[in-house]
Structure 1
């Protein structure tokens, strides 16, 4: 018997890595053939780096970060200005709270680091493999999985739903999301260009010449490659002109790159419960929130850190199953706070039309409380 992890994103790979670290050899299935190719979920907070140190990968994450350690966040009309708000000129100093540094790696590079370490520790990672069906019973979970060679049945003690924001597992269990729902739909592209010395940045754009009047421009892990997202309004899009508007460089000649799954939906919602008998929700399967604030990827990693040691102790007979009851009360209230805080930042940075909403939450002060309590 083992633990079946469904989904090979940040939360699934983190769960598999920490399970293996604690002596349980999990099986992870991921329907896509590789780890993510999307340069999103960028940046690691100090408390996450502490958790990654436990798994022995903090050094690799630091090494994969930009060497100068700079990352600027602005709210502007374009990348070259005018700047409306200087949100972050450098990472806050939390040295009095944690000995760990900040890091600046996107999901595109983080996932292979987690996957490699999980394999080193003995996890069985199966990419190109999807969950077909599952059934819970008194002694565990029976799951049917399928890859290019056929179907297989797996018997597991527990199953972890790390299958993303659409989460077929969550839907099969009848677990609804509670929150504000869909906030908007976007689309985007990757491109290469010489941005005249702009290297490591995240720029929230408010510009009436962009589709929908707003967008987000961000650097990636690859020097000279950038990602741009805008509202998904109807009609054809001249991406070169949109990029020139976003960068504020009218004569720029960007090289447009393909971006698989180039449409995205921004949602706000937290699952009604994070556990259903022997199935546990983590990552985007458990919560959906705007990307403003960088808590999505960080919390996904910490979901695995928090849940894996408990599953390992119970699976190995070192603790009773009651230990697993703590997953929901520990992670769900915290997730509600994070989702609300990221929605607040979403209104401040990209949706000023929502600034007068009387239901907006108050900001958590100091912000370090979101990291360290």
Structure 2
């Protein structure tokens, strides 16, 4: 029997990301994936800036942007609605927060990262290469057959290539095995939400669509032909390789998929070459589009993440973002419990923090899907579509790991500015042309204390707490310009978790800073 600290079931975006973030905390991981290799299908069509921030912590931002530079080619960032691609286009844009800015009419840039229009297949290949370089073991063609758990760990029976059997003993298991998660079924965990909305059929194709585009930029086209729920977008910057998807009745496989493409483009004589999505398989792939959230995110030592925990329509890249955030939130907590820095109760905050985010993002993705795809049913009806920046940067956790949070507090904050539970603000501390440093670059593997210009008592208390509790903690002094956006006075202090979320804040001095700061750290770490 092989022993590992963490077994990750599922080698797609969320599972690979969980392994990357656990490796960042030096936790050995075994990843098993039932498919023989990374799926050659774009699925997620781009990384939102918040997801890029998390990969930036792991040192992957340069590699990702090298594969697909942000905003280039620019046509990938333009979304349109039309009856056919050749017909009139209506630009689609998300709502923005018109009040965002610093008060003088200058919009703030909330992140050091940009949207990157990278396909999920390219991203997953990059993550696999990174994990193999770091020594993480990935077993493709291997599936979880059965699991049992007790008070000390999880025993997993695996079936590998050729039917080989292996038993693995893990302290914890991360189930990132997709929307039809067998792990979730074994645990008997149900889900809540509108459920399956329709089946989507997808194609990869090569064609010259210049006659339909007529020079118009299109990053994603939402079309009414051949049926509502049709999407067409570029696979790369060549202008000749495209991703096509449309809704189909259950069990329906068209006899003429090329006719679908011609109907969608409005070019009846278009020369279309269908490309393989999976070598040797039918070029037409189908999968369910749905909206639901698991009733609970954990059972004992097994944790659900990504599509195993929540399924949402693929509009706005919210499903991918939610899965990457799940992995990031869970990774530091598992790592710190495994190495004894935190108590096991910290893991209970994974559900209390992440499930409300998934519920909200699922509703938002559904509302966007209704607007762009004319989705059936009543789900999302009347749901106001919120600005993307609010969904990315305004998330507010309320849990025992945020001792400064208030029960019943709003789960979204329009302008967080250091509010406990929210992602700490991005501000540049150095804008050197070769290496601009953001305050976000301070976070990732340890607790961070930020203190105001006159916050020496808090700094000294933080150093003593780190020493007495054997906790990795760094202390930084902020000048007045950096302290104010964090909601700090000159004598205040703020504690940030490894995931970059603010745990606790005090705006001024205290009679006993050692007692106050130590109490905050103990609360964060469930000690």
Indicate whether the TM-score tops 0.5.
yes
Equivalences for 1:85-124 in 2 at 5 Å?
85-88=90-93, 96-124=109-137
Which shows bigger deviation, 148-157 or 195-204? Answer: 195-204
Change beyond 3 A, Cα 1:361–1:278: farther
Cα distance, 1:199–1:133 mapped onto 2, change above 3 Å: farther
Structure 2: gaps of 5 or more residues: 101-106, 279-283, 395-527
Question: 1:183-198 counterparts in 2 under 5 A?
Answer: 183-196=197-210
Structure 1 residue 372 corresponds to structure 2 residue 393? yes
| Worse-matched range after superposition: 255-264 or 284-293 | 255-264
| Cα pair distance change 1:364/1:194, threshold 3 Å | closer
Indicate the residue corresponding to 1:10 in structure 2: 13
Instruction: Compute the displacement of 1:247 (Å).
Output: 1.4
CA contact (8 A) 2:78 2:217 kept: no
Q: Distance in 1 between matches of 2:172 and 2:108?
A: 38
Measure the CA separation in 1 of the matches of 2:253 and 2:207. 25
Give the direction of change, closer, same or farther, for the CA distance of 1:307–1:44 in structure 2 (3 Å limit): same
CA shift, 1:117, in A, is 1.6
Give the stretch that moved more between structures: 42-51 or 69-78.
Answer: 69-78
Aligned partner of 1:228 among 218, 221, 244: 244
Shift of the 55–200 alpha-carbon distance from structure 1 to 2, 3 Å rule, reads: farther
Q: Could you tell me the TM-score, scaled by structure 1's length?
A: 0.92
Secondary structure at 1:368's aligned position in 2?
helix
- Residue 366 of structure 1: how far off its partner (Å): 3.5
Asked whether 1:60 is paired with 2:60, we answer no
- 1:217 to 2:229 alignment: no
1:256 CA displacement: 1.4
Q: Which moved more, 1:6-15 or 1:253-262?
A: 253-262
In structure 2, distance between residues paired with 1:294 and 1:306? 18
> Contact 1:268–1:289 (CA<8 Å) still a contact in 2?
yes
**How many angstroms apart in 2 are the aligned matches of 1:353 and 1:39?**
25
Q: Deviations over 1:238-274 (max 9, x none)?
A: 2222212211223310111234470111111000011
Partner residue in 2 for 1:28: 31
Structure 2 residue aligned with 1:347: 370
1:130 equivalent to 2:143? Answer yes
Query: In structure 1, what is the Cα distance between the partners aligned to 2:74 and 2:237?
Result: 15
Q: Is 1:46 matched up with 2:49?
A: yes
* 8 Å contact from structure 1 (residues 274, 280) kept in 2: yes
Deviation at 1:147, TM superposition (A): 1.1
8 Å CA contact retained: 2:197, 2:291: yes
Shift of the 361–56 alpha-carbon distance from structure 1 to 2, 3 Å rule, reads farther
Which residue of structure 1 lines up, in the alignment, with residue 517 of structure 2?
Answer: none
Aligned-partner SS, 2:20: helix
Q: 2:276 aligns with which of 254, 258, 264?
A: 258
Higher relative contact order (CA 8 A, sep 6+): 1
Q: Looking at CA atoms only, which structure, 1 or 2, has the larger radius of gyration?
A: 2
Q: Residues 194-220 of structure 1: CA distance to partner in whole angstroms, max 9, x if unpaired?
A: 12157751111113xx1x444111211
- Counterpart in the other structure of 1:300: 323
SS at match of 2:388: coil
- Alpha-carbon contact 1:57-1:113 (below 8 Å) kept: no
Question: Structure 1: where are the runs of 5+ without partners?
Answer: none
Q: Structure 1 residues 352 and 273, CA, compared in 2 at 3 Å: closer, same or farther?
A: closer
* Aligned CA distance change for structure 1 residues 72 and 32 (closer, same or farther; 3 Å): same
Q: How far 1:353 sits from its partner (Å)? A: 6.2
Report the counterpart of residue 78 of structure 2 in structure 1.
72
How many residues matched? Answer: 366
> Which structure features the higher share of strand residues?
1
The normalised TM-score by structure 2 is: 0.66
Q: 1:139 to 1:353 in 2, by over 3 A?
A: closer
For the 8 Å contact 2:368–2:385, the answer to whether it is kept is no
1:365 Cα offset (Å): 3.5
Question: 1:235: Cα distance to partner?
Answer: 6.8
Query: How do residues 281-320 of structure 1 correspond to structure 2 at under 5 angstroms?
Result: 281-320=304-343
SS where residue 144 of structure 2 aligns?
strand
